[in-house]
Amino acid sequence: MQQANLAAQAVLARKDASTGIALIIFCQQLGGAVFVSIGQNMFANKLANGLRPIPGINPAAVVDTGAAEIRYVVNPDMLGKVLLAYNGSLTKTFTAALVMACLFIIGALSMEWKKMKGMKHGGPGEGPSKPGAAEKAKRRRSILRKMMPSLLRQF
């Protein structure tokens, strides 16, 4: 969680660092709140859809029951099918989380790379900076824009 704050401090000027860090913390908190809710909703919907074809199973009762108590709510001869549906909904939810994590890497790759070793207190203007780092960051951004134009138009 701290790497983003350190990167903002290394790349941004001293007067912009506090705004950048506040924006990063806001996005991290908002993203956590929103995507936990999205993941829960996705899991519940996929589980309910996976349980509908199984006769004699009430999808709402299974969704409301936790994973530890599922064996006590479901008939033992239907337990295998219910567990398969449960596993499928968990897999879909984790796959969506993995896709989102991979998409967020694009933002990290478009940021300027700097070594913080030897950087003095006070921001990037006072410490040693690698020559050509800004040009390399621009080159990486242009490559990413060519690779994924529809996603990077937002940046």
The sign of the dihedral angle between the CA atoms of 125, 129, 135, 140 is: negative
The pLDDT value given to residue 138: 78
Q: Are 54 and 82 in contact (CB under 8 A)?
A: yes
Q: Which pLDDT score is estimated for 127?
A: 44
pLDDT in tens, the chain (155 residues): 677 777 788 888 888 888 988 988 898 899 889 999 999 999 999 999 999 999 888 888 888 888 888 888 888 899 999 999 999 999 999 999 999 888 888 877 877 777 767 666 555 544 445 667 777 777 777 776 676 655 544 44
Please report the pLDDT score of residue 152 as a whole number: 44
pTM of this prediction exceeds 0.75: no
Residue 48: closest CA among 82, 7, 99, 75:
82
* Residue 83 contacts residue 73 (beta carbons within 8 Å): no
pLDDT at 150: 56
- Domain positions in the chain: 2-109
